[in-house]
Structure 1
Amino acid sequence: EALLELLDDPTIASKRWVYRQYDHQVQANTVIPPGGADAAVVRLRPQQGEGSLAAANRGVAAVVDCPNRWVALDPERGGMAAVAEAARNLSCVGAEPLAVTDNLNFPSPETPTGYWQLALACRGLSAACSALDTPVTGGNVSLYNETRLPDGRMQPIHPTPVVGMVGLVHDLAQVRGQAWREAGDAIWLLGVPLEAGEAPADPRLSLAGSSYLERVHGAVTGRPPEIDLALERSVQGFLRQAIAKGLVRSAHDLSDGGLAVAAAECCIASGLGAHLEIPVSRTRVDRLLFAEGGARILVSVAPAQTVAWQEALDAAGVPAQCLGVVAAETELQIQQAAQPLLRLPVAQLAAQFEQAIPRRMGVDLPPTA
């Protein structure tokens, strides 16, 4: 029930009702259709004459991100997370993050809280851009975003420093999407691992400020998780190298909704199922399935690449867990100690995900082709 509730959240749900209404194949340069990957990818058309672009097979990837709940609760961590997630999304398609433009939407800076949010969010953006080598090349600022309530009080928006990031795809033949590719492929979690045993809770993962906490429990509270920028850099760098070497068949980052939502989105995009086994832990099951935090990416690896993949992981020293396999059966199964926690048909997941926005608009969206 919790997973279906999250997939019905318009922030998480499919945006197809929106993008199907405009031309997203301008000049046939769109490499991956909307909804197919973590970032948009557009072909760089070859240029006349000699030079590096004369016969290039390169592209540009772009994405926008902002975890507004996190920024409202901890502006510095939220600002860091916005940059880190944007870079992670570019890395998931195989693009090298290059630069940022920001759109700083905030309430009045003339209140102590408003000034604190603006100052700390900018500090977080700066720290993450420095750590990930993505300079801010431009942007704009919109302040005093507030609504006067009937009783005269001012209701401010969540501080929303939207990050737009662009990256370079060196070889369009190696672009990756979020859909599983083939049954039998191994599913790995890169980065911050799922918690196991009785160790103290990892501060880089939390239900605080999560979609689960807001959607299922109606609360936006707590301090968001710590942002491990060093791990972000190493995980993303490793993933881009693995994609370039053909070791990874799909990649999708864990963001809103955590592991369960990310796995469901990969199933929906592919039509294939997945069998996942999460570690035995004293950690709450909802934390394992729905906790959020940076530096986490789901990838699928073909059986033929198992040895090369393991050698690459050992050489890079990047934390990784094998969680299961892509399944021919069209359902998502998640279990712990061989006991089922979740079992849902992909068709049911897809219906919830695809119809969330159309249902609110009072229209029927035709199924995908």
Structure 2
Amino acid sequence: MTAPPDVLISEVGPRDGLQSVQATMSTAAKCAWIDALHAAGLREIEVGSFVSPRLLPQMADVADVVRHAVGLPGLTVMALVPNLRGAQAALATPLHKLTLPVSASAAHSMANVRQTPAQMVELVRQVVALRDASAPAVRVEAGMSTAFGCTLQGRVPEDDVVRLAVALAEAGVDEVGLSDTTGMADPAQVRRLFRRVRAEIGTRTGAAHLHNTRGLGLANCLAAWDEGVRTFDSSQGGLGGCPYAPGASGNVVTEDLVFMFEAMGVRTGVDLERLQAARAVLAAGLPGEPLYGMTPEAGLPPGFTYADGRRPSAATSTLASADADRS
């Protein structure tokens, strides 16, 4: 591409997706999937989490995966760390970005990390200090879980979310993202909350991490776009969820999110045909695991053009026509 994309699609499947399935994907299969995602044009990938392998055996090889992924040109390699020990282990690798989960819901915070939100802010402060001392080039993001509601606590007051965002910015993070962990958000709420947070912390307002639990994932992404959000988390095949948020099903599907933006004329830098090839790599690495998404099933519509003027191959157009004939 001759110009940077209009939006950054941050792929979280190798972490959020894989930790949510029972099977453990092999290291070789993870690396092959990440290679395929990179080949499709994705330039930020959350490759795993630095947690106890006893709790999440799916993430036991995260350091090896990081070392592989950092060799891919132009890729920002990101990992989640839930505590100081995880941050220390992560900063011993050559990754580019850390994400810490900080829940706006006290009930979810205790279930997820056994810390109150205030204690997590203090942890964030310690991680930022550790980053500054040992790896100042690494960015630190706080992903604010349950910002739009919690299945354990119920309603999460917006004032609490805004105050927590301010506290996290004051703790020194580079970005504060808002996460619809439980899939309870609606577009009006997404617009309102991102507008309020941006008014308080400005450019430190980070990604929209939205779920499709009730079918509003793309609508909520569009609402966040309207409010100036330009980084969106998504997961190939819609893999993901939260084991500590009952009933919270998968993330926004990367394939559908890319299609929506490209159809709107918003450049993502992602090639949908190569993304479909990456989906095949994922399926091979997780045989039998259900994958979701409307675009992969329907194909690209006849006459589809990418935002930068490119057209898909004839094979993809034929696939779309064949699907239409079967309906």
TM-score range, shorter chain: under 0.3
The structure where strand makes up a greater share of residues is 1
Q: Which has the larger radius of gyration?
A: 1
The structure where helix makes up a greater share of residues is 2
Larger RCO (CA under 8 A, 6+ residues apart)? 1
Instruction: State the TM-score, normalizing by the size of structure 2.
Output: 0.27
Instruction: State the TM-score, normalizing by the size of structure 1.
Output: 0.25
